[in-house]
Amino acid sequence: MKHSSRENRLEADVLVIGGGIAGCFAAIKASEQGAEVILVDKGYVGKSGQTPYARSFMAFNPDWGHNLDVWMDYINKTSEYVNNRYWTKVTIRESYARYQDLVSWGVHFRTDQDGQPIRSSMPPGVTDLLLIDDKTKGEYALILRKQAVRSEVKILDRITITELLKQDGRIVGAVGMPPDSYDLYTFIATATILCVGACGFKPAGYPPIVQLTADGEAMAYRAGAEILGKEFVDTHSTRMDTPIGIPNMLGRNKDVPDDLKVLIGPGRGKPEIDAEGDKIPDRPADASHYGYTYLERELIAHAGRAPITTPTPDGDKEVVGGACLGMSLRKADGIWPADNNCGSSLPGLYAAGDALGNMQNGAVYALSGSAIAGGAVTGTIAGVAAAKEALQMEKLTVEQKEIARAKGVVFAPIERQGGFSPRWVTQLLQNTMMPYFISYIKKADRLQAALTVVEFIQEHLVPKLFAGDPHELRLAHETKNMVLNAEMRLRSALFRTESRGNHYREDYPRRDDPIWLAWTKIKEEQGKMTLIKVPVPKEWWPDLSTPYQQRYPFRFPGE
Amino acid sequence: MANVRIDPGLCNGCGICVKSCPADVIRMDPETDKAVIQYPQECVICCWCFVECPEDAVLILPEIKTSPLFTSWG
């Protein structure tokens, strides 16, 4: 070893990796079952990931006149029939109980004069979401942390988990490192829950996902887990002058000085106008009501009608795509759920929140506030199931040779004398994946061209990533994981030879029922990334006797 | 990358900015016990450090607005 490292070994019944809403729920619920729980986070539990930025929570309550069939019918259609109806239904049904948990832990929601929660119907007249009170907006994630501490969860902040431990086919924990030393942290756990959030390529336009570099998926894939395909892209846009996410954070608990007010960006939520003066068209009413989080802007840019601008008191500001580069629609990528307990295809490994690819929303965003509710619901299911499994089992002993293998993986980039810097490889990856005609408006030849570049990065640059200090060591692992995410995205996009929801192929512009009423599953077989088509159960298909135009009110260009 | 500074005269060494930074930009200087911007390359202007600092010691310079975003089209 070039550098000395101190080894810290910790043991638990349940190891939860990632401390956003899914991770906190998983840890708290596992602990309530009587399990010894460790919660480890790359950042600081209560401040990391996207959770602190959330402002609303979807909640279903029959006492408020909600009808499950109405909600389901709406989501099934807008999601273009590839939502997983089991998980959609579970998320809806259990959302209110999780809202009650949050209230009991001290999270405040906005209420009316009678003390009843203010409900914001989104989409209009269909589903409801509750608004986190401004007083606890941002702070509510810290309330989750406090509840985890009260529940006797052991929290370790600022440890980046880089590799899962596997023994006799079972995941038995993980190893990681802090950002400021070469210490090794080894976690031995009977059950491990990945709650690591979404996957991105560190896009500058959306700070909340700077940490979310597909670490969990990449670890799970390398260990042999199955991953949900990644063809349904997240299309959030950003402003050239004010990256999104910042307005949620700035001004939260102190006044914003005048010279930073530009970052808050007046005029959000106003209409967006293309270069010819036309407003971005709304989707047909029965297709969706969820703002512009579709491919409309990309289609306008592709047609040569950019720049797209939005009016503000400071003049028109330019709106651009790629804010969430590398990310799928929430829950449209992640660990493939192999059972109804958020278990993966590997014994001992669970996933929850955005790390679980349960397709609760299908091929487009169907519901506002459902991502955060889904995190709470799946965190609870995974936490309870993992604890029950762990408490029934004997404590594990993990052989030293497996820990030594994982340690070798962790420190490989600092053992190299030189090679390629993770910052440069990350930039190369961003430049390869960012153009709208690669990740958003897709076609086989362009996807293949990008894949050729990414394969070269994978084969020739990733094995030669080097790090000069512990900070760069973290960057090296993040870069390695982002490259794997890019390969998965491109292969999934090539694999789905149709268009549906937020997956648009110029060379296959129609939905292809029933051939592509299916999900894409990814796994490593004999060293190769393999894609498998998994049909949506027939009882969840739309009525194929209804005309195509009625099944799919939105038309893609070229259909 | 952003133009962020920490005023050593105002920093009380509490370290809350180090904990808050999602990108590991800030470190405590072991000699002065003050926070320093160690890895500005990784800053994404999320403003957590600015929001959390109890002493208003974090200065985010307004010229960051001119930092180019690499975008999906342009």
Cα dihedral A544/A550/A555/A559 (nearest 10): 40
**In angstroms, what CA-CA distances link A356 with A139, A353, A455, A488?**
25, 6, 26, 16
Closest-approach residue (CA) in chain A for B74: A307
pLDDT per position as a tens digit, A190-210 = 999 999 999 999 988 888 899
Determine contact: A207 vs chain B, CB below 8 A: yes
Whole-angstrom Cα distance, residue A95 to residue A137? 19
At position A299, the amino acid (one-letter code) is L
pLDDT in tens, A357-415: 999 999 988 777 789 999 999 999 999 999 999 999 998 889 999 999 999 999 999 99
Average pLDDT over residues A324-341: 95
Count other Cβ atoms within 10 Å, centred on residue B67: 15
Q: What is the dihedral of CA A29, A33, A35, A37, to 10 degrees?
A: 10
Helix (H, G, I), strand (E, B) or coil at A54: coil
B32 φ/ψ angles, rounded to the nearest 5 degrees: -100, -10
User: What are the tens digits of pLDDT across the range B15-57?
Assistant: 999 999 999 999 999 999 999 999 988 988 888 898 899 999 9
What is the predicted pLDDT for the residue at B72?
A: 80
ipTM of the complex: 0.93
Residue type at A24?
C
Q: Do B73 and A474 touch (CB under 8 A)?
A: no
Q: How far is CA A498 from each of CA A231, A420, A512, A518, rounded to the nearest angstrom?
A: 11, 37, 6, 11
- Please give the residue of chain A at the shortest CA–CA distance from B66: A241
A–B interface: beta-carbon pairs under 8 A: 108
pLDDT digits (tens, 9 = 90+) for A70-123: 899 988 998 999 999 999 999 999 999 999 999 999 999 999 999 899 988 766
Chain A residue with the nearest C-alpha to that of B67: A241
Q: Are A94 and A25 in contact (CB under 8 A)?
A: no
Q: Which two tokens stand for residue B45?
A: 């202007």
pLDDT of residue A134: 66
Per-residue pLDDT at B66: 42
Please check whether residue A407 is in contact with residue A184, taking contact to mean a CB–CB distance below 8 angstroms. Answer: yes
CA atoms within 13 A on the CB side of A311: 6
Who wins on pLDDT, A523 or A284? A523
* Backbone φ, ψ for residue A75 (5° rounding): -70, -40
Name the pLDDT band for B62 (thresholds 50, 70, 90). low
Residues 286-325 of A with CB under 8 A from B: 298, 301, 306, 320-322, 325
Contacts of residue A472, Cβ cutoff 8 Å, sequence gap at least 6: A413, A421, A422
Full-model pTM: 0.96
Contact (CB, 8 A) for A505 and A442: yes
- Going by C-beta distance under 8 Å and a sequence separation of 6 or more, which residues neighbour residue A451? A487, A490, A491, A494
pLDDT, greater one: B63 or A538: A538
What are B's interface residues with A at a Cβ cutoff of 8 A?
A: 19-24, 27, 38-39, 41-42, 44-48, 50-51, 56, 60, 62, 64-65, 67, 69-74
- Would you say the C-alpha torsion A285, A357, A423, A457 has a positive or negative sign? negative
User: Mean of the per-residue pLDDT values for chain A?
Assistant: 92
- Tell me what pLDDT residue A258 has: 72
pLDDT in tens, A448-507: 999 999 999 999 999 999 999 999 999 999 999 999 999 999 999 999 999 999 999 999
Residues of A in contact with B26 (CB under 8 A): none
pLDDT digits (tens, 9 = 90+) for A131-149: 888 666 568 899 999 999 9
For residues A191 and B14, what is the distance between their CA atoms, to the nearest angstrom?
36
Q: Are A47 and B48 an interchain contact pair (Cβ–Cβ within 8 Å)?
A: yes
Let me know: does A229 contact A52? Beta carbons within 8 Å. Answer: no
For A236-287, the pLDDT digits (tens) are 888 877 777 676 676 666 777 776 666 665 555 578 899 999 998 878 777 7
